[in-house]
């Protein structure tokens, strides 16, 4: 049975909508504390009317949705600037659907969202949330995205489905799942305008399986999680990822800072924010995207 968030969580929801301040995340943790310890399904809305349900103890996306009752997701400015009616979004690592739902509303009935989620438990929550919102413009793809077609073994964390990874070091359940490349998937489909990637260290593999997509004259803007420690476990580095993207038509990297977008130097070894934006400067759509976002103040939890 679904239940309303308890009082501590409701206070955290209000705080989440306030301007960022130092120590806010710690205060969230204190407020939430043990209030969710009993588990169970919670439902609600976020982002101005998007509906969700799920267990915040096992889906970090669900907890984030709860806290966004009166606020927008961190990456919402990028989605809002990049996507419009009729566009296509590729959400690699969709989890419970935080950004899939946001993107589905942005692109509308004439657009399309391709949500890639290999973990069945997170995928079930995602599918329920799509039904709750009545979205019929989303294709849920039950596969991991990698550099080659085949299968991969992931480790699922029972406490946080968002940590499911090929390179996890936490105890968990091993999952053998199908793997596909974006090049193969989009060979007979419309190209995405925006590609979002959050796959706990597999970001480089996703990008290497998208040579045709990234090298085309309709290449997408890319926003991806840049975690040096996870990339190192995968045998690569942030510098290598940036260099590879630069070879795909000259992609440039922008950090998401509290003072706005900040272009990174090619030799910068550590990302300036938790997630970064990659754009092709020669593409008119990407030039316009950067202009729209240049003065957007991103949240502090982007390491900005």
Tell me if residue 102 falls in helix, strand or coil. Answer: helix
Query: For 13-51, how does the pLDDT look when each residue is reduced to its tens digit (9 = 90+)?
Result: 666 655 655 555 556 555 665 555 555 788 889 999 999
* Beta strand 173-180 pairing with 252-257: unpaired
Q: Work out the end-to-end distance of the chain between its first and last CA atoms, rounded to an integer number of angstroms.
A: 40
Q: Where are the domains of the chain?
A: 7-67, 76-302
* Beta strand 275-279 pairing with 221-225: antiparallel
Q: Flag whether the pTM goes above 0.85.
A: yes
Cα-based distances in Å from 57 to 32, 62, 159, 160, 214: 11, 8, 6, 7, 36
Weakest mean pLDDT among 13-22, 116-125, 253-262: 13-22
Cα-based distances in Å from 11 to 5, 33, 54, 155: 10, 12, 20, 34
User: For domain 76-302, which architecture applies?
Assistant: 3-Layer(aba) Sandwich (3.40)
- Mean pLDDT computed over 150-164: 81
pLDDT at residue 60 greater than cutoff 60: yes
- pLDDT number for residue 31: 60
Q: If residue 197 lies in a helix (H) or strand (E), which one and from where to where? A: strand 194-197
53 class by beta-carbon count within 10 Å (0-12 exposed, 13-18 middle, 19+ buried): middle
């Amino acid at each position: 049975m679904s239940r309303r968030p308890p009082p501590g969580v409701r206070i955290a929801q209000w705080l989440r909508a306030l301007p960022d301040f130092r120590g806010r995340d710690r205060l969230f943790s204190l407020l939430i504390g043990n209030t969710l310890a009993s588990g169970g399904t919670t439902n609600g809305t976020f982002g101005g009317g998007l509906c969700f349900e799920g267990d915040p103890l096992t889906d970090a996306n669900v907890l984030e949705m709860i806290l966004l009752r009166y606020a927008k997701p961190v990456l919402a400015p990028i989605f809002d600037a990049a996507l419009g009616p009729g566009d296509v979004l590729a959400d690699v690592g969709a989890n419970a659907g935080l950004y899939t739902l946001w993107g589905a509303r942005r692109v509308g009935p004439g657009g399309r969202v391709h949500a890639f989620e290999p973990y069945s438990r997170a995928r079930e929550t995602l599918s329920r949330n799509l039904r709750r919102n009545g979205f019929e413009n989303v294709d849920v793809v039950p596969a991991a995205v990698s550099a080659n077609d085949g299968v991969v073994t992931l480790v699922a964390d029972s406490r946080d489905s968002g940590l499911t990874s090929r390179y996890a070091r936490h105890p968990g359940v091993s999952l053998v799942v199908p793997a596909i490349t974006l090049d193969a998937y989009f060979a007979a489909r419309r190209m995405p305008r925006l590609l979002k990637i959050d796959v706990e260290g597999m970001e480089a593999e996703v990008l290497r399986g998208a040579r045709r997509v990234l090298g085309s004259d309709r290449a997408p803007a890319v926003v991806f999680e840049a975690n040096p420690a996870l990339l190192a476990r995968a045998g690569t580095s942030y510098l290598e990822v940036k260099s590879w993207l630069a070879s795909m038509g000259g992609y440039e990297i922008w950090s998401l800072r509290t003072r706005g977008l900040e272009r990174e130097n090619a030799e910068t070894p550590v990302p300036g924010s938790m997630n970064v934006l990659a754009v092709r400067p020669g593409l008119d759509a990407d030039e316009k995207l950067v202009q729209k976002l240049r003065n957007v103040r991103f949240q502090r939890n982007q390491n900005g």
